Structure 1
Amino acid sequence: MLPFIYIVSLCTLIVFRRDIQTIMYFGGFCVSEVCNYSLKRFFKQVRPERIARLDHFQNIFKTFSLRSDRLI
């Protein structure tokens, strides 16, 4: 939900301020999200065994072993 809030607030700032710094920040945010999504799909690894034991959660959340969506 937090990336959605970032996108809405940055789009609002871009519309009202038209500042190059805000536009570049939004562009960097989008590039970071695309890069994180692609790297997570590229390095598909199963979760560690201690988390893989929770089979009912594995069916709900189809995620991989990368813990964070942020590169930094």
Structure 2
Amino acid sequence: MQNPFESGHIRNYILLYVSIVVIMVLFFIASTLFRENKDVDKKVFSTQVSKSVQESIKSEEKEEEPSLTSKIKLMDKSY
């Protein structure tokens, strides 16, 4: 078996490592250079609901409550 320090294998491994790092840096630069920054407008949703809609939602919730309580039991404490 040859000594890798004398035969020049270490130089080949270092060149391989450096070439991989250079390729990675070039891909990073290329990906950041050609990326387009698109600004997305923030959507604002109206939270005002008419009284009739609120009443209908409350009535629907009241109708569903008895059926849910029989199926689901909540814990006494929250952890």
Normalization by structure 2: what TM-score? 0.33
Greater RCO structure (CA 8 Å; 6+ sep)? 1
Q: Which has the higher helix share?
A: 1
Larger Rg: 2
